[in-house]
Amino acid sequence: EVLQCSSAWNPLVIDQAECRGLLKSLRASYFSRNSSRSKWHMPQAFNQVSAIDVHLMDGERSVHDQSDTEDDQELRPISMAIVSPMREFSRGWRSFAKVSE
């Protein structure tokens, strides 16, 4: 399969739309009871990536930022907004590295 070849991943290029989808999926898996990051099966060649070109998505405004009363803080659901794409990408990359080992 072509994805088993390291040249398929070098350089690894992720555009803004792909970044948004990836980060949304990762964020959802962090808080899902039914999902496990171990389900992310990456080809062995993924570990051989030596160059990456990521066009991060623009940060999203959290619904928590829009609240101006303290009463809203009690039972608010976890925000799925990607406020800091760099932080989310970094956390996700570490998860991929662990799963791929």
Q: Quick one: pLDDT at residue 101?
A: 54
| Per-residue pLDDT tens digits of the chain, which is 101 residues long | 777 787 877 888 999 999 999 898 888 877 766 655 555 666 777 778 888 899 999 999 876 555 555 555 566 666 788 999 999 888 877 776 665 55
Backbone angles phi, psi at 13, to 5 degrees: -115, 125
Extract the tokens encoding 76. 């608010």
Element (H, E) at 21: helix 16-31
The pTM (predicted TM-score) of the whole model is 0.66
Determine the Cα–Cα distance for residues 27 and 31; give it in Å rounded to an integer.
Answer: 7
